């Protein structure tokens, strides 16, 4: 099995790079993945996968951080100009840019799901010759959109895995789902797919990521350091007035936001685990002689557990309300993103650890857990739903050399990690019957 698998992966190695570089060049940020989704859908359809797309796999009211309707329309037109396959676009129009591809082997067995994300960041890519994507002609052509976290590689891995699984279908059992998720950045997209029921029939679940400070060639079988998070936008609305002639007639939204920002950063940390609060954006005011009637704050909370995050979040709500009362202004809170904490399933992690140690010599080392903090990830929604339904779930990290840290304008990775990831995931799928019979 190993020799044939290696030969199959060698045959798609160049294509993995081509896919990755194409997605990198035409980077699309969250809910704008129109071109990417059409290319993914077309490839999966040609391979013979059963597809569900758009509103079939995304619950509209559960989407978070959704751009304006005008922005969605503009970006859809941009995608058409950049080569989106128009026959697939109706499925994704309006920002419903998710895909679930199912391979039914026709043989009894469990349902195994793999999740990859497709979106870029709202970031301008470095355009100098010291940055390899620019020097080799595949840096992003879209302003304020860049694959600076490796999701272009994740999407390519998902397509590569689809090819390998289809080729080796006779050796598989049960059903395999490939979930291509939009809007992971800002933890905005997974919840809407979970609420659409895409993993309600899943027995085993795996999400993946490249990098995350894991050394080159190392595999982490069960990342357990993701923090729960809530991301909100807060708008304060007051009354403008002349700051010299009639300041008493004004209601100062800027002061409310400033007082809230100071109060938020004074929230006590939690004794039972890591807790975070950050005001990342504060915008207010139009002139030095005008009482500001509008202020915008962008805030996130995080916690080691869902309970710790909820503690910080409820403190946040109280401070936002109190600051509004102090200045007699109105306020509005909009949920922009969220993720949970989630621990991998130990028995599932053990199985992956054993199989990868035996069957993937390309990996220099295999470890069960991650030591350093890993931020937040909305794949935790998938993990928690699968576990709640009696299934098992985990999150794999494939170590690779990076040219710069994640979310940096010079981010890039060693593309060889993609074929290692495809082989690892295919190996897990091919050996799943061994796990089911233990």
| Cβ-contact 304, 340 below 8 angstroms | no
Give the DSSP H or E segment for 113: strand 111-117
Give the count of beta carbons closer than 10 Å to the beta carbon of residue 319: 21
Q: Helix (H, G, I), strand (E, B), or coil: what is residue 302?
A: strand
- The annotation status of 185 as a binding-site residue, yes or no, is yes
Between CA 226 and CA 341 the distance in angstroms is: 6
Tokens of 122: 């709202």
* 223 labeled part of a ligand binding site: no
Distance of alpha carbon 158 from alpha carbon 357, whole angstroms: 22
How far apart, in whole angstroms, are the C-alpha atoms of residue 236 and residue 263?
15
Question: In a 10 Å sphere around its CB, with 0-12 CB exposed, 13-18 middle and 19+ buried, how is residue 340 labelled?
Answer: buried
Residue 206's SS3 state is strand
Residue 209 annotated as binding site: yes
Q: Is 407 annotated as a binding residue?
A: yes
Q: Residue holding tokens 């994640």?
A: 406
Helix (H) or strand (E) holding 338: strand 330-339
| 3-state secondary structure (DSSP) of residue 437 | coil
Beta strands in 144-227 (DSSP E): 175-181, 204-210, 218-220
Q: Find where tokens 């994704």 sit.
A: 92
The reply, when asked if residue 151 is annotated as ligand binding, is yes
Cβ contact 365:424 at 8 Å:
no
Binding-site members for Mn(2+) are: 149, 151, 185, 209, 407
Annotated binding residues, as ranges? Answer: 149, 151, 185, 209, 407
């Amino acid at each position: 099995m190993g020799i044939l698998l290696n030969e199959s992966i060698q045959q798609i190695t160049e294509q993995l790079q081509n896919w990755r570089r194409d997605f990198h060049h035409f980077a699309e940020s969250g809910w704008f993945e129109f071109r990417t989704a059409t290319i993914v859908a077309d490839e999966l359809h040609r391979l013979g996968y059963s597809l569900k797309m758009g509103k079939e796999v995304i619950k509209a009211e559960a989407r978070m951080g959704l751009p304006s309707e005008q922005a969605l329309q503009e970006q859809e037109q941009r995608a058409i100009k950049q080569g989106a396959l128009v026959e697939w676009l109706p499925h994704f129009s309006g920002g419903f840019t998710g895909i679930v591809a199912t391979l039914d082997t026709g043989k009894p067995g469990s349902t195994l799901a793999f999740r990859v994300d497709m979106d870029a960041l709202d970031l301008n890519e470095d355009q100098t010759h010291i940055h390899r994507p620019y020097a080799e002609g595949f840096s992003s052509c879209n302003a304020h959109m860049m694959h600076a976290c490796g999701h272009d590689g994740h999407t390519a891995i998902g397509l590569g895995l689809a090819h390998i699984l289809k080729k080796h279908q006779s050796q598989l059992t049960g059903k395999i789902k490939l979930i291509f998720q939009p809007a992971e950045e800002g933890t905005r997209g997974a919840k809407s797919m979970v609420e659409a029921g895409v993993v309600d029939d899943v027995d085993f679940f795996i999400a993946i990521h490249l990098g995350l400070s894991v050394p080159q060639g190392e595999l982490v079988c069960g990342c357990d350091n993701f923090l729960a998070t809530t991301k909100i936008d807060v708008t304060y609305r007051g009354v403008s007035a002349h700051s010299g002639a009639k300041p008493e007639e004004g209601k100062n939204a800027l002061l409310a936001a400033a007082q809230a920002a100071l109060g938020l950063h004074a929230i006590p940390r939690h004794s039972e685990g890591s807790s975070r609060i950050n005001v990342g954006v504060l915008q207010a005011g139009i002139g030095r002689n005008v009482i500001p009637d509008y202020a915008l704050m962008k805030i996130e909370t995080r916690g080691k557990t869902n309970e710790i995050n909820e503690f910080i979040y409820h403190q946040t709500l109280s401070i936002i309300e109190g600051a509004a009362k102090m200045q007699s202004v109105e306020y509005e809170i909009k949920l922009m993103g969220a993720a949970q904490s989630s621990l991998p399933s130990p028995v599932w992690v053990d199985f992956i650890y054993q199989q990868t140690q035996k069957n993937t010599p390309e990996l220099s080392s295999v470890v069960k857990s991650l030591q350093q903090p890993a931020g937040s990830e909305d794949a935790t929604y998938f993990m928690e739903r699968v576990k709640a339904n009696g299934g098992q779930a985990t999150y794999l990290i494939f170590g690779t050399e990076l040219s710069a840290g994640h979310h940096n304008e010079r981010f890039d990775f060693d593309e060889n990690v993609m074929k290692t990831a495809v082989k690892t995931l295919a190996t897990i799928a091919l050996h799943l019957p061994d796990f089911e019979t233990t």
